Copies of this chain bind each other. A is one copy, B any other.
Amino acid sequence: MSTNASQLERLTFFSDAVFAIAITLLIIEVHVPHLETRDDQAYWQALHMLQPSFMGFVLSFLVIGALWVAHHRVFGMLVDYSPTIMWPNMLLLMTVAFMPFATALMSSNPMARVPELFYACTLLVAGLLQRLLFAQALRAPYIKPGISSEDIAATRWRSLGLPTAAAISLVGAWCAPGWNNFLLLSIPVLVRAYAAFGRRKALRLQVVPVES
């Protein structure tokens, strides 16, 4: 068991490192303005022009941060892992590593439809891979003893929050490119709603056999 625990730790570690690097690399796609003047007005304007880049940085930082927090929560529930999660995890990391590109494409071409679709698509893929990974990881022999089935159900369900929001944002990108990103603000609400729903459903399932 301790073998698997240390192997799980290393898998977690590698994943953490990729999350940390991708989240930090976001900033190098924000190009530093270099002005020849010392006129304050020119600088305020240059910073104002960078506003889409700043917003993209903050948005993607929060999204990757949320993906990491969820990964952290789920892997904290495990004592072991099925070898089948290795590649779904790797593909999730690939999408995370791809985020700096999708972000920069969107930020460098503000309000353009295709970059917004591309960004929403990247989020959707990340969300679906995360969902797949968590469904495979949170299985019977691998879960820490003492974790209630409601908690597991809530954790599985909450991972639907990101793909749902990303799918809505994808549709929004078609109609109102740029503004669609505000739809992503629904993620915290969706995640909580899904978690509550999953938890209630798990409780109902437990109660049924007792009643029947």
Contact = CB atoms under 8 A, between A and B. Distances in A.
Interface of A: 3, 6-7, 10-14, 16-30, 32-35, 38, 40, 43-44, 47, 57-58, 61-62, 65, 68-69, 72, 75-76, 86, 90, 93-94, 97-98, 100-101, 104-105, 108-109, 111-115, 118, 144
Contact of A86 (B11, B69, B97, B118): B69
Contacts of A21: 17, 20-21, 24-25
Contacts of A94: 58, 61, 65
Residue of A6, A17, A47, A57 with most chain B CB atoms under a 10 A cut-off: A17
Nearest to A29: B32
A72 B114 contact: no
A84 to B, nearest CB: 13
A55 B114 CA distance: 20
A29 to B, nearest CB: 7
A6 B76 contact: yes
7 contacts: A3-B144, A18-B23, A27-B100, A27-B101, A28-B29, A32-B105, A65-B90
B35 A72 contact: no
- 10 closest A-B pairs by beta carbon, nearest first, are A43-B114, A17-B20, A21-B24, A32-B104, A34-B108, A24-B97, A65-B90, A7-B76, A38-B112, A18-B20
A114 B47 CA distance: 9
A77 to B, nearest CB: 9
A117 B32 CA distance: 15
Q: For A7, A10, A28, A44, which residue has the most chain B Cβ atoms within 10 angstroms?
A: A10
Contacts of A101: 27, 30, 32
